[in-house]
Amino acid sequence: MFDPTSQLFPPITPLRHGLLAVDDLHTIYWEEVGNPDGIPVIFLHGGPGAGLSPQHRRFFDPQQYRVILFDQRGAGKSLPLGECRNNTTPLLIADIERLRMMFGIEQWLVFGGSWGSTLALAYGQAHPERCLGFVLRGVFLCTQQEIDWFLDGAQWFHPEVYDDFVAPIPAEERGNLLQAYVRRIMSDDPAVHWPAVRAWSRFEGRRVFLLPQPDEPPSDTLDLGVGRLESHYMANLGFFSDGQLLANVARIAHLPAVIVQGRYDVICPPVSAWRLHRAWPGSVLEMVPDAGHGAMEKGISRALVGATEQFKRRRAFA
């Protein structure tokens, strides 16, 4: 039963979970939640590198949905943690297809937030015939403009956070913060890469919510996954050509989509969600007026559950 006080469905444990070797280097963690005969949905987490949370299972009615969740390469419980070799968007898309075939699913709803929205669009454009529709949150189209904003735009709204981020970087390297951090994050020396990944992870984490939140204690898993994989993917423009995802919307424009966006999202500003909505005539854009980027902000979580409930009703009358 839906819990209106938390905006989410109650906590639930996986029906089953396991590890899947996807190549000689990477093994990904997966779990299945809900009704094995329900509407299939694939959940794509953000970051890259942020990994799963038990809260992610709670956007879906467990009596009506069969939810497949997984930690992407290098993230969460997948092994090796923070590994950037053999870690590209085409390979993540191939992993999603491998999971779909492993579970015997023909088509599924694709649900993703932040980097998960990027991956959802890339997967859908590669395999539109496998998609029932999309629920996207905090849209990130992985353009150079968005990456530049993520790094340097912070100074306009969070100058103290930005100053903390640039402080460890010598003045002569600050003209390209991304490359300055990549050099440190990818260092083999723990004395160099651990401070760098922690600074990167904190730089993002302090800007997620509209209202200030207490600082989270350092997490080796989150900090290494986010620091290494975000900087790796940003340095490679997500393995896209600039503007690719928006240019290829026509491949999925026949499918339903709900886009949930925080009005005051400073990680993934609303202009990207707006551009996607404008390019996708059948999409529905819900701009949450009192939210930032966080999936667990009340307005965002309420809208995401509303989207999965709407899709459930749509399927009932299909």
Q: Which residues pair with 135 in a beta bridge?
A: 111, 258
Tell me how many degrees the CA angle 297-288-60 measures, rounded to the nearest 5. 60
Question: Which amino acid would we find at residue 143?
Answer: T
* Number of alpha carbons in the 13 Å side-chain half-sphere of residue 143: 18
The span from the CA of 110 to the CA of 127, in Å, is 11
Element (H, E) at 160: helix 159-166
The pair of structure tokens assigned to 222 is 């989150």
In terms of Cα–Cα distance, which of 109, 89, 132, 134 is closest to 42?
109
Contacts of 213 (CB under 8 A, 6+ apart): none
Classify strands 27-34 and 65-70 as parallel, antiparallel or unpaired. antiparallel
Q: Are 57 and 199 in contact (CB under 8 A)?
A: no
The catalytic residue positions are 114, 265, 293
In terms of Cα–Cα distance, which of 104, 54, 102, 49 is closest to 78?
49
Rg for the chain (alpha carbons), in Å? Answer: 19
> What single-letter DSSP state applies at residue 31?
E
